[in-house]
Each structure stands twice: as structure tokens, then as C-alpha cells.
Amino acid sequence: MSIRNGVQLITYADRLGDGNIESLNGLLNGKLSGLFTGVHILPFYYPYDGEDAGFDPIDHTIVDERLGDWNHIKSIGESKNIMADLIVNHMSAQSAQFKDVLAHGRESEFWPLFLTKQDVFTSDDDAETAAQIAQVFRPRPTPFFSDYEVAGKEMVPFWTTFTSNQIDIDVESDLGKAYLSSILTSFTQSNVDLIRLDAAGYAIKRAGSNCFMLEETFEFIESLSTRARGMGMQCLVEIHSHYQTQIDIAARCDSVYDFALPPLVLHTLFTKDASALAHWLSISPRNCFTVLDTHDGIGIVDVGASGDKPGLLNNDEINNLVEQIHINSQGESRKATGAAANNVDLYQVNCTYYDALGQNDLEYLVARAIQFFSPGIPQVYYGGLLAAANDMSLLARTNVGRDINRPYLSSSDVDEAFEKPVVQGLMTLIKLRNDSSAFDGEFRVSYTHNLLELVWINGEASAQLAVDFADFDAVIRMVSAEETTAFSLSSLL
């Protein structure tokens, strides 16, 4: 199935509706019918409820039986594009392969599958090794080596980029290649169209480098994407990095995330100045997927500087952006971000997008309209679809910062959310984005005299979003061969 240029849903199978894949399919073709052309189902492998909410699979080729099986995935793919996560960088310490390594050490057939410190840092000079390790880019404040006793006789430091339960694999080894191939086979047999390459930027390690998005990493991503295309799938690369890196990656893969968009839209709405946003949209990759919210936090590194390369926002603008999120959320985001909660990334603020905007319905619809009119295929997170507020009770139970934006929403919660005018307005925008052929055409952006205009033209069809920041009015104008319509976003509330 070709990838359709329409709005996609991002959701967990267990946190929306009745909590399994079959019920998700019923929801997509029932209450959510007509809204989404595709769905990114967050990790549904065994176990989906591990230490990192499914991103630490014990067996990546098995659907957790509590959620369903591959036939349920295949069924969704009969009517929707499916995106599934290929967790490239690591697998669970609880996996059969790693347990075999722990039991048999270097004699295990799976020993070459996992990366150790000595696999990368081979120097006998401790000072040289320490200097090389200091160069490695860290996504989290946790150690990137974890000591495990193997064969009951030696302690071995294994690479653990994210948590001690997520053991980095050697994707360049024969076993690593075979492991990834087995996952691709499961996908292609089950109507998966899109593969989200999770944490791919960390997959290749070299001593003397920062071990992040190296030239060898680009080559690895290109090679993996080529294999996937040969099996009828496309790859979406998930990288949080400097915006120029996103542009460079986009030129060498099927598609990338536009992770600069979420903080830039917030900055624009906070300051009523769209100059940084307009500049980015004039140079951003066109083969991208756009998001405002995801299962992770709101990324900041994507608009910041990197070394001597300036960012899309300067340090003061970024600091003001983060502080305004904390103010708008009445301090809730501060409790879920940084050292305040466990298992956090260094470059993200944990908060729902709705709360980041202070639950301002008009600003929220303007943010979504900007997303839908920006280049790329839009994705809407299930919490964002329902204008969910920060889940402080879940955060209190788990003390995992990102859980503030990972609520469990029952069928009755969905029904209740559907009554909100802001949710009804968002659904109107989703249908508009799906139904107009203008978005298959040419895009242009302009920003003069406080007026931001995002315009799409495709033959006789056109779509225009005009946001006047002087009096904060937003108007959409749609033209087709049959009719012309125009309306203010405030009329949706």
C-alpha cells in the first residue's frame, strides 16, 4: 500500500479505548472513522509494558499476546497505513539472547550480538580511553556502560546508551544484521508500510568520535532503508539533533521527522513573532513527518545551537520558551522534567502540548493548523487528539517524567473528550487536511507585517492559512474546482 498524504494517529494499543489492537482497529473504523489515513502503533512487542514502555523488547518479533497478534496488526493494515517501530540500537537484558550471554559468557553463540566497551575502545592506554569516552554524546544522564557478570567469572561493561536494561547490539555483526532482518520479515508479512527507525543515530560507535550520526551511521541507515524498500516498506528516521543534521539526513533517506516544528510553533505563539518559524519552513525537508506531540517530551535540542553552528533559536529564546511552558502548565511540566523525575532525556520538556499552551483552545487550534499546513505528513498523538491534560496522578505513581503525557484513556474518556469544542474543531481541521488535493501541490511561506501565510497550490486547488499576530486572528481559505470556502479558526470553538 502506498503512503497516503493524510493525517496519521500516534497511539499505544493499550492506552486508548479498550486496551488492545483489535479494539484500536474498531476505534479507527468507528468513532475515529474518516479522520486518519494511517496509524503509528507504538511498541506492541513482548513485553509492551517493560521498563521503557515497550522500547525494551524481550522479543521484537512477537506481538504481546495481551494486545493481540500479528493478524490483528495485518487487519488494521488492510485499510490504514501502519507505522511500526524498529528498535535499532538495543534489546532487553531480559531477552533469551542476552541471558545466554550471561550464562555462557564469551562461549555463547550470541556473544557477538552485543556491544561491550572493549569492542569500541581498544586502546591499552587508560588516559586515551577516558578521553575518547568523554567525547561520546549522551542522550540521558545515566551511565552508558553497565557492568554484568558473565559465566559467573568476569564483569563485563556492556554498552547501554539508554538504560541498564537496554543492551546495545552490534548492528554491523552478522548476528546483528540477521536480527534486524528477522524483524523486517515480521513487518512485511503483516501489512506494515512504514518503519520508524528508533534511536538509529546511536547505532554505530567509533572510538575517537561522539558515536552519534557518524558517516557510517548515514551509510547504515541508507543500507537498512534500501533493504526495507526491497520488501515494500519505507523508513522514517527518528533523530533529535541540530536542524542541519535533519536536512542532511533527509537527503539520504525516505523521510525524517520535523522535530524543530513543535518548539518553533510554541515560540511563535508565546512571542507572537513567526520569523524563526517562517525561516525554518522555507528550508525544512519536504520528505518529512510533522508532529507537535509524541510519546516523548517536547524536543529542545532541535532548535538549539551545536558547537559553532547557530540554532533556529538562541539560548535566551530557548530558556524563555522552556520557562513559559512551565508557567503555562502551572509548574506541572517542571515536576516531570530534568532531575525531577526518573528516566528523562536531557533535551526534552515533559508536558502535553495542550498544557504547554495553557489549555488555550484557540492557540491550540492555530498550532494544529500550522502543523497541517506545514510541509510533510502530519501525525497527531492520541493525547493531543483528545486535548488531554497532564496526567499528574500517573506521574506520581511511576515517577517517570514522560508518563505525564502518556495517559490511559478509556472508551468513556474518548466519548467525553469528543464533546469538547476544541476536539471537534481539531477533527474539522484533520478532515480538511485529508480532503484537499491542494496539499499534494507546491508550498510557499511568507511572513510580513505580523502576517504569517502558509499556502498550497495544486492546479485549480489551493489552501491558505493566514495568521495575523497583531490581533491574533487565523483564517483558512480553501479553493477547489467546485467551491471556495473561508472561515476563522475562532468559529470552530
Q: Are 450 and 469 in contact (CB under 8 A)?
A: yes
Catalytic: 147? no
Contacts of 372 (CB under 8 A, 6+ apart): 7, 378, 429, 430, 432, 433
H helices within 1-121, ranges in order?
21-28, 70-76, 96-104, 117-120
Confirm whether residue 267 is marked as ligand binding.
no
DSSP strand pairing (473-479 vs 461-468): antiparallel
Q: How would residue 345 be classed by pLDDT, with cut points 50, 70 and 90?
A: very low
Q: Are 257 and 288 in contact (CB under 8 A)?
A: yes
Question: What are the distances in angstroms from CA 34 to CA 92, 329, 374, 410?
Answer: 37, 32, 21, 21
Residue 428 above 50 pLDDT? Answer: yes
Q: Terminus-to-terminus CA distance in the chain, angstroms?
A: 36
Q: Are 350 and 297 in contact (CB under 8 A)?
A: yes
DSSP strand pairing (377-381 vs 288-290): parallel
pLDDT digits over 382-422, tens only? 999 999 999 999 999 999 999 999 999 999 999 999 999 99
Mean pLDDT confidence for 434-451:
97
Partners of 235 in the beta sheet?
195
Residue 285 above 90 pLDDT? Answer: yes
Q: Which of 198, 332, 391, 403 is catalytic?
A: 198
Closest among 361, 128, 167, 370 to 267, alpha carbons compared: 370
Partners of 10 in the beta sheet?
40, 381
Confirm whether residue 168 is marked as ligand binding.
no
pLDDT digits over 202-220, tens only? 999 999 999 998 999 999 9
Confirm whether residue 346 is marked as ligand binding.
yes
DSSP strand pairing (442-448 vs 45-46): unpaired
Q: Which of 238, 254, 302, 403 is catalytic?
A: 238
The domain over range 8-88+174-439 is classified in CATH as 3.20.20.70 = no
Dihedral of alpha carbons 119, 122, 125, 129, sign: negative
Confirm whether residue 52 is marked as ligand binding.
yes
Confirm whether residue 238 is marked as ligand binding.
yes
Confirm whether residue 302 is marked as ligand binding.
no
Q: How would residue 342 be classed by pLDDT, with cut points 50, 70 and 90?
A: very low
**Amino acid type, 42:** L
- Compute the distance between CA of residue 211 and CA of residue 138 in angstroms, rounded to an integer: 9
Residue 343 above 50 pLDDT? Answer: no
CATH number of 96-167: 3.90.400.10
Q: Which residue has the cell 521527522?
A: 257
Catalytic: 258? no
